Amino acid sequence: MSQKPNESINKSNESDRGIHTDFTNKMTYSKYLKLNEILTSQKRLSTHHDEMLFIIIHQVSELWMKLILHEINAAIQSIKTDDFSTSYKRLARVTKIQLQIIQVWDVLSTLTPAEYIEFRDSLGQASGFQSYQYRLIEFALGYKTNHILKIYKKEPELKDKLEKAYIAPSLYDVAILALAKAGFEINSAIINRDFSKPYESDVSVREAWLTVYRNVDQYWDLYQLAEKLVDIEDSLQQWRFRHLKTVERIIGFKVGTGGSSGVNYLKKILDQRFFPELWDLRTEI
Ligand code: HEM
């Protein structure tokens, strides 16, 4: 006998009876993810429709930055304990996250100069320049600049966090220490260096990486590590470049809300390098 349509719907509802519906004193999806806090944190300061996009793009980028930091810091610990394979896993994840935040620029590019100008004044002096997570990433990768620490003098907890990261060895510092542990003769001034100083290219480090790249089979672990670092720097530069072009597309050559010259400032930072020897060796090999 053929089934009436309603009968089949009732049957499927019966088979769904296992679905949990009583959440008294139980963890729920929203509670676990703190969705109420997250989804009520998009407070526009203007009535302009597109300000929502602007806020969410920044918040999403900051969330991904949080995970990048979590993974890089874990990778630093893995390298320190010679657990290279775990560090590769973590660093590969960093690069995948970077691809996500590079894609973010495509969404932001739908904001036109005419739209942005309507709510730009609401931002006052707020700028990504003050992103402390971005600075923590730079510190973790070895690019140490202390001029930005002043921004946080009224937020002692944050300042403390940044200062700790500022004096700690970076991902590149631990990679160089791994070279020394593998028997390469690394300049003692580099091994015992003050980790708060910006890293400057060194001949002994360059020679060591060159040897690794010329003897891939012998130094497979270090070679893999080096390529993971290059992936990260490459993606970071792509992020910077897309940021620069998106900014140029939206505000042209106006000064930034953070007080810099804007696009010209962003052009200059494209020259900053994190792992100089790993790039230089490509010319020499
Ligand atoms: C309409 C969108 C945007 C505009 C017009 C813009 C503009 C600028 C400008 C002009 C600067 C230079 C500093 C200043 O004077 O403000 C800057 C820096 C920065 N922005 Fe953006 N930005 C935009 C979106 C974003 C987004 C979505 C992020 C993601 C978090 C971001 C992150 C940063 C960071 C981290 C810096 C510091 C770069 C450094 O000092 O190395 N920006 N931005």
Q: What is the DSSP string of 114-180?
A: HHHTTTGGGGTT--GGG-HHHHHHHHHHT----GGGGGGTT-HHHHHHHHHHHHS--HHHHHHHHHH
How would you class 171 by CB atoms within 10 Å of its CB: exposed for 0-12, middle for 13-18, buried for 19 or more?
Answer: buried
Is pLDDT of 1 > 50?
A: no
Using CA atoms, how far apart are residues 263 and 253, in angstroms rounded to an integer?
A: 6
Note the Cα 278 to chain centre separation in Å. Answer: 20
Q: What residue's CA is closest to ligand 1, atom 27?
A: 58
Q: Is the dihedral of CA 255, 256, 259, 263 positive or negative?
A: negative
Which phi and psi angles does 117 have, rounded to 5°?
-60, -25
pLDDT value at 5 more than 90: no
Q: How many CA atoms lie within 13 A of 106 on its CB side?
A: 5
Domain topology for 44-284:
Methane Monooxygenase Hydroxylase; Chain G, domain 1 (1.20.58)
- Give dist(CA 284, CA 251) in Å, integer: 40
pLDDT of residue 3: 54
Distance 256 CA to ligand 1 centre (A): 8
- Sequence length of the chain is 285
116 CB near ligand 1 (under 6 Å): yes
Percent of the chain at pLDDT > 70 equals 94
Give the pLDDT confidence of 204-246 residue by residue, as tens digits.
999 999 999 999 999 999 999 999 999 999 999 999 999 999 9
pLDDT, residue 11, reads: 58
For residue 261, pLDDT beyond 50: yes
**Ligand 1 center from residue 58 Cα (angstroms):** 10
Q: pLDDT at residue 275 above 50?
A: yes
Q: What pLDDT does 9 receive? A: 56
Per DSSP, the three-state class of 58 is helix
Could you state, in order of their start, the residue ranges of all structural domains in the chain?
44-284
Whether the CB of 257 sits within 6 Å of ligand 1: yes
pLDDT tens-digit map of 97-138: 999 999 999 999 999 999 999 999 999 999 999 999 999 999
Instruction: Give yes or no for residue 236 CB within 6 A of ligand 1.
Output: no
Confidence (pLDDT) at 70: 98
What gap in Å lies between CA 214 and CA 208, rounded to an integer? 10
Q: Does residue 104 contact residue 98 with C-beta atoms inside 8 Å? A: no
Q: Quote the radius of gyration of the chain (alpha carbons, Å).
A: 24
- Rounded distance, CA 175 to CA 171, Å? 6
State the pLDDT at residue 13. 63
Count Cβ atoms below 10 Å from residue 2 Cβ, excluding itself: 4
Establish whether residue 98 lines the binding site of ligand 1, counting it when its CB lies within 6 angstroms of any ligand atom. no
Question: What digits encode the pLDDT tens for the residues 47-91?
Answer: 999 999 999 999 999 999 999 999 999 999 999 999 999 999 999
CA angle (259, 123, 133) in 5-degree steps = 70
Pocket-testing residue among 51, 63, 110, 247, ligand 1, by greatest number of atoms within 8 A of Cβ: 247
Report the percentage of the chain scoring pLDDT > 90: 87
Q: Residue 21: what pLDDT?
A: 83
Sign of the Cα pseudo-torsion (147, 151, 154, 158, in order): negative
Distance 254 CA to ligand 1 centre (A): 13
Helix or strand (DSSP H, E) at 253: none
**Cα 216 to chain centroid, rounded:** 29
User: Tell me: the pLDDT tens digits for 26-44?
Assistant: 899 999 999 999 999 999 9
Mean pLDDT of 150-166: 93
Q: Is 247 in the pocket of ligand 1 (CB under 6 A)?
A: yes
Ligand 1: centre distance to CA 47 (Å) = 22
CA 62 vs. chain centroid, Å, equals 8
Mutate to test the pocket of ligand 1, among 51, 122, 129, 139 (most ligand atoms within 8 A of CB): 129
